[in-house]
Structure 1
Amino acid sequence: MFLTQRQKRILQLMLENPTGVSIKQIEENLKISRRTVYREFGDLKQNNFAIENQKGKYFLAGDTQALQKVKEAVQQSHSQNVISVAKREKVIAAKLLLSTEPCKVIQFALDLNVSEATIQSDLNTVEKSLDRYGITLVRKKGVGLLIAAPEKIRRQVLVDLLVNQINQYDFFKYLHNEIDSQDLFLTMIDKELLLQANECLHESVFKQIKLDTDQKEIEIILTVAIALKRSSAGCKLSFLQPSTDSLKYQGYVYQFLALFSKRSQLEVDQNDVTYLANKLLNSDYHNTYLTYDEHELAVAAKVKEFVQHISEEVHWDFQKNPDFMTKVTKHIIGLVQHKVSLLPDTPIEILQGLSQKFGQLYAAIQKYWQLFFPDNQLTSSELQLILLYFANEYTSQSNNRNLSALVICENGIGTSAILGAKLKREFTEIKQVKTSRVSTLNQLDLSNYNLIFSTLKLKGFPRDYLLVSPLLLDDELQKIRDYLKKYEQKYPHLSEQSSFNQQEVTHSVEKLSKISISALFSSELVNGIKVQLLEYNSSDLIAVVQECLAHLDPTLIRKQLPVAKNLLKRVQMAPVGIPNSQIALLHTRSPEITRCSFTMFDLDNEISLQSMDHNTIQVKRILLMLAPDNLSTPEQQVLSTISSMIIMSSQNLDLFTNGSQKEIQEAIANLILQDLKETLLNNSGEKA
């Protein structure tokens, strides 16, 4: 049960006066208005007790257990733990943005357990922060604090603030009634409203769009809940222009509203429908390419050529997967339009290992970046981060010759079946054919298909496709033969290792020595891998680093301070969060470290960190890799192999995020054994 200081004082009055208290008594005791008293009564109704009125006297009602909980809650000296200044300022900003009436300084002071002078100081910082978004903080003497801003901007800033502060894991547990949260941000919106919005969205909208992250789902739920709350309070949007191709999303919004109106009173206008439809369009991962503005479209066209040339150079079809194209396009748009800060031009070990493993692919990326984006010079680390996108796609997709084709038709029946059968009969390379209507395309994974044929034009479609007639005329058969021939020339069938890896040729004696060192070192390192829980950890990364070091084997580090400084220097140099994951990798070398180690810490409390691709992620596991200052080449190669393995695929990211100690040890051992076998085979081949 979460109660503010003011609510506790109201309940205390009622507990002290079991026959009831009047509104006037509450006003005089708490120095608040009648309107505020009624608002607090409304908020208190969400708990498992009732406030009843008999002849103007208000008293508590409920079962014995519920009333006992009220007494325990009231007896607590604070309504929540002491929070940081930065968090307190964000709470104030969020409450101001959400409120539909003036807020009082004394109200903030009571709710946050600080003095009015402290709140006044906080407000100066809040005012500057809001001003960056064109939002004005208005202070009216005798009235209170107000926000002056266009409604659309007000809602968007509020949603962004809440999304960045709310823990994703706690959010979904809260919605599923698995926890009673005291989080100030999570409980800021009525839980009943959140529950109803979430249920109706899942029954309507979420079945018809694809959201690529949990954060996107949380953002949609909050956007809808806040829109309903603000609109019902009479806070209207100015005229909004519907986005291009947003018509079907308006349909999704109407489906949602029809469901929601059956459960609760609803007041929205056309501008709210347009606002929500535009949000859904922007969030639908299948249709992200439709949301680019004019300038972004120009960059997106260059990215497409950039990827095409790399694909042809390394003979691997990177254009096959629209999800990959969307991710890499968004990332490059951010770089070209200077929306993000570049990674520093200093070595980042995890990315360096990747560029060594995929030398030919990295060279192609460097070559064609200069060709297509000559005015945007990138650091080596930033280019290696782009390589990460390509390497992940390469390791997760197969380039086999059993070609599969997707046939897109208007209705998906009749002529489409004829077309599919004819394709398989005329072209033996095509082993599988899938037919689909345009309306069901968003339910398909386009990366499963090498070739796409369509009987109608597809405006804005993210993949290359061949336009054909439903009956496949003779001249079209030749056109398809030419299409297949070009495809096979561009992307010939390659061995699993492909030509991305280049083996270093050395003398056999040197190689044998390196193999022996690697085997012994690897065995010791793998056996020493640990996964352990970091209980009650801080939300601050610097404090977490110190806590991790304090929990290590005391024989591993001679002096902690120099090692901690090295790690903090690495944290300040560039983001340590791994893209598209919930893990962060920290690594350093130091003379104070006695041996190599790899330890993973599961965090009791997730922390928000920036990832290498400039997004914010919720980190639940810290990977800590430590090594002495002087390492042999084989030892460096083993550590580099492990670093690269972490980010090599979504499966590996999941392993290092959720895997047990034994599972991770087995996976790393297996990879190292494969590398050793390949080295032995190469030696054998050279002797022969």
Structure 2
Amino acid sequence: MKLSKTMILTERQKDILSLLITSEEGISVKELENRLNVSRRTIYREFKELKDVLATDELNLVNKKRKYGVEGNKEALNKLILAVKKTKIQSSMSVERRENALAAILLLNDEPKKIIQFALDLNVSEATIQNDLDIVEKSLAEYKINLIRKKSVGVYVEASESERRQVLVGILLSEINDYDFFHYLNHTQLKSNNFFLQIISRDLLFETRKALTKSIIPNIELDSDHQLIELILIFAVSLTRIKAGFTIEKVDLEPGSLKYQGFVFRFMALITEKMALKVDQTDVTYLANKVMASDTKQTKLHYDSDYELAASIRVKNFVRIVSEKMQWNFQKNTTFVNRLTRHIIGLTQHRVTPLPNARIETLAGLSKRFAKLYTVIQQAWQQEFPTDKITSSEMQLLLLYFANEFTNFENHQQFNALVICENGIGTSAILKARLKQELPEIKQIKLSKVSDLVNIDLQKYDLILSTLELKGFSRSYQLVSPLLLDDEIIRIKNYLKDYERKYPLVNQPVFSSSKTKHATKELSKISIGTLFCADLVNSIKVQTLRYNATDLIAVVQECLVHTGRNLITKQLPVAKKILKRIQLAPVGIPNSHLALLHTSSHEIKRCTFMIFDLDNEIVLKSMDHNEIEVSRILLMLGPAELSDAEQEVMSLISSMIIMNDANLRLFTNGDQDQIKNAISSQYLQELKRKLE
């Protein structure tokens, strides 16, 4: 009897079967309609599906005197009753998810599978599976994966092993939520109804992550939890295929991936303690290439398409224009340039949902604080991306990238050179000697091979020389011969002169400030603002939400409960305003574990800034469209009408939070006194700037 193992029913089908097998005299369609509150047409459609399910176990849906029941031998009926009680209830999938599920099953397995098996697994009719397969066939063909249908044999796919694994991992990533993935992995007793979470053994996923944590993760840098999930899935899928006897086809070893092969060998040594595997060198090479590609310490030297390559060139021009107009070199830090490139490609290719064209206080405050820089960015965007229209919020988000870079690093006028050579120390030494002799203004010279670039902080160097062409390299560089010829020296000298002209030692002021015309009024405003800031800072509290829910709505309500009645007269209207703001645009702070919630309302008596540490992290979208795990909530509240002084201080705090990496770390991990002192110090700096 296969029924108890393979039956997968919707909630409605389970209810219908329960009524059919518990009604001794049968049950009419009319009674089923009333009991289940559905139409006659729905009942007959479900009957058609159930007939196919029952027929596989030689049971029949019968109609006697307009009353329906199930007939078969006693043993089969008893097993049916047991199966209905224990059967797994699977929510109906959308068409798109079902098609992805079909593709995932086909890609993970090589044995032909009958249409009826797909129908039972996915809880639909055989006709529906046939229609779905037509769509799946066209989609897979784009990846050069052929869907084969053989009568009396079944359905399967033919594909290169690398394409098979890559597409399968892509499907799983698109269908698995980051939070659900880790929650499922961390709670061994938890059962999930997510089909895609169950397609690979939880034990294998758990052991894969464990081995990765010991062998590979400590040696690389990942941008996000989503990237960690991708790495876990790549390895878990590969292990599944290797165990089934399938080896990756020959792949080329990427330059610089040798050390990553060592990491993969260490991983395999750990995983083979748990399972017997015969691992081919090609699989090690394949996985090493994948690990290297996920390591953000790598300098990106290639792009996935001609469009991305062209877009990266436009982004570099965009950064160059901003740098020259601001006389501040934003081009030195390749991590910044690459991160900005990924973001802009996502925007221009419509891979992400743009921020709404509405005021987002955190970003709006930044545009006031860096008014000149914001204007320059707008002009540079129009110049380099004239046909790509973006919202004001997205433009302000671009400002966030530049403002963060500006406040993170000082623009010291130091001529430091990096020399990249293809072969050995000898050539590098000749170049270094020639540079010292001919260009004494270069104070420091660093020698490097291409394979060592991943370990070098490129933003330290004003000048990069290379004896070989670096296709797609994220920094501008001078291509020279190993002997450094005279005309090349002249070219380098001209480059340095141009560099000095573009980025002089004296920094241009970025912050805009208005000169006072009436000293008495200005003094009064300053005293009011200072008193308000002192009062606000003294009221700052860092509290912990114990055993908080992982639902954002519940967390917002918990935060407001801790504010007290002396601050908010009615909490419900304030909660609704905060949730409306969250629905408008993401509230997560990029590259952090922070979420900034803020609103103003007639129900709020005075301005306040409160910080809540979460016992349980929650997953939210950040302003740059990535998902982050939030461990701390920053709550800013104010009355409906704010005075100029109040508005200024509140804007200062919100801008300060996202100003640079040091501030992000402070607001993420700092205690109450550290945060109070930092805000006070920032206010005093602004006050000093006004008085100068």
1:161-203: per-residue Cα shift (whole Å, max 9, x none)? 55613577997xx6xxxx9885869997455774466546864
**Who is 1:499 aligned against?**
509
Cα shift at 1:494? 2.5
2:531 to 517, 520, 534: 520
Distance 1:503 1:388, change over 3 A: same
Equivalence for 1:140:
116
User: What TM-score, normalized to structure 2?
Assistant: 0.73
Alignment deviations for residues 242-294 of structure 1 (CA, whole Å, 9 cap, x no partner): 68x84654884586257615645324568856763563354232244513311
SS of 2:443's partner is strand
Cα deviation digits, residues 444-478 of structure 1 (max 9, x gap): 11111111112222222211111223333333322
TM-superposed deviation, 1:217: 3.6
**In structure 1, the residue corresponding to 2:93 is in which secondary structure?**
helix
| CA distance in 2: counterparts of 1:446 and 1:162, whole angstroms | 36
- The Cα of 1:671 is off from its aligned counterpart by 0.6
Alignment match, 1:99: none
Deviation at 1:616, TM superposition (A): 0.8
Establish whether residue 125 from structure 1 lines up as the match of residue 136 from structure 2.
no
Question: Is residue 405 of structure 1 aligned with residue 413 of structure 2?
Answer: no
Deviations 1:484-506 (A, max 9, x none): 001111111123xx322221123
For residues 159 and 675 of structure 1, do their structure 2 counterparts lie closer, same or farther at Cα, with a shift above 3 Å needed? Answer: same
Task: Tell me the distance in 2 between the aligned counterparts of 1:612 and 1:513.
Answer: 37
Q: What SS does the corresponding residue of 1:430 show, helix, strand or coil? A: coil
Kept after mapping to 2: 8 A contact 1:577/1:611: yes
User: Secondary structure, in 3 states, of the residue corresponding to 2:89?
Assistant: helix
CA distance in 2 between counterparts of 1:182 and 1:136 reads 23
TM-score, normalised to structure 1's length? 0.74
Give the match's secondary structure for 1:140. Answer: helix
Looking at structure 2, the residues matched to 114 and 606 of structure 1 have their Cα atoms a distance apart, in angstroms, of 37
Correspondence 1:370 to 2:379: no
Aligned residue for 1:414, secondary structure, equals helix
Deviating beyond 6 angstroms after TM superposition, the runs of 4 or more aligned structure 1 residues are 113-118, 136-139, 146-150, 167-171, 185-188
In the aligned structure 2, how far is the partner of 1:219 from the partner of 1:647? 28
1:651 counterpart residue number: 662
Instruction: Decide whether aligned partners of structure 1 residues 342 and 494 sit closer, same or farther in structure 2, where only a CA change above 3 A counts.
Output: same
Quote the residue 2:264 is aligned against: 256
Residue number in structure 2 paired with 1:438: 450
Tell me what 1:98 maps to. none
1:99-121 Cα offsets, whole Å, 9 max, x none, are xxxxxxxxxxxxxx99668814x
Matching residue's letter, 1:503? S
* Matching residue within 545, 548, 556 for 2:556: 545
1:585/1:622 contact within 8 Å kept: yes
The amino acid that maps onto 2:484 is L
Does the 8 A contact of 1:533 with 1:601 survive in 2?
Answer: yes
The aligned counterpart of 2:337 is: 325
Query: How many Å apart are 1:509 and its aligned residue?
Result: 2.0
Residues 1:461 and 2:460 aligned together: no
Q: Is the 8 A contact 2:300 2:472 kept in 1?
A: no
Give the 3-state SS of the residue equivalent to 2:410 in structure 1. coil
CA distance in 2, matches of 1:541, 1:503: 38
Provide the residue aligned with 2:61 in structure 1: none
621 and 515 in structure 1: CA distance in 2 versus 1, 3 angstrom threshold: same
Distance 1:357 1:623 in 2: 20
Identity of aligned residues (%): 48
Residue 576 of structure 1: aligned partner: 587
Is 1:419 paired with 2:431?
Answer: yes
> Is the CA contact (8 Å cut-off) linking 1:579 and 1:612 kept in structure 2?
yes
Q: Does 2:671 match 1:663?
A: no
Aligned partners of 1:168, 1:424: CA distance in 2, in Å?
54
Once the two structures are TM-superposed, the CA of residue 535 in structure 1 deviates from its matched residue by 1.5
The aligned residue for residue 40 of structure 1 is: none
> Matched residues in 2 for 1:601 and 1:131: separation?
42
**CA distance in 2 between partners of 1:423 and 1:170 (Å):** 58
Which among 376, 392, 395 is matched to residue 407 of structure 2? 395
Q: 1:530 aligns with which of 541, 560, 564?
A: 541
Counterpart position of 1:479: 491
Distance 1:257 1:632, change over 3 A: same
The higher radius of gyration belongs to 2
Classify the secondary structure of the residue corresponding to 2:302: helix
Matched with 1:560 is 571
Q: Deviations over 1:376-419 (max 9, x none)?
A: 11111000001111111111122111221111123452342343
Q: What is the one-letter code of the residue matched to 2:121? A: L
Correspondence for 2:328: 316
RMSD (CA atoms): 3.5
How far 1:134 moved relative to its partner? 7.0
Give 1:212 shift: 3.4
How many residue pairs get matched?
562
Alignment match of 1:604 (pick from 607, 612, 615): 615
Corresponding residue SS for 2:468: coil
The offset of 1:136, in angstroms, is 7.5
The whole-number CA distance in structure 1 between the counterparts of 2:96 and 2:480 is 58
CA offset at residue 547 of structure 1? 1.3
Moved more, 647-656 or 535-544: 535-544
The answer on whether the counterparts of 1:168 and 1:214 sit within 8 Å (CA) in structure 2 is no
Amino acid at match of 2:624: D
Aligned CA distance change for structure 1 residues 241 and 265 (closer, same or farther; 3 Å): closer
User: Is the contact made by 1:589 and 1:626 (CA closer than 8 Å) also made in structure 2?
Assistant: yes
Secondary structure, in 3 states, of the residue corresponding to 2:425?
coil
Letter in 2 for 1:357: R
Distance 1:591 1:240, change over 3 A: farther
- Please name the residue that 2:172 is paired with: 158
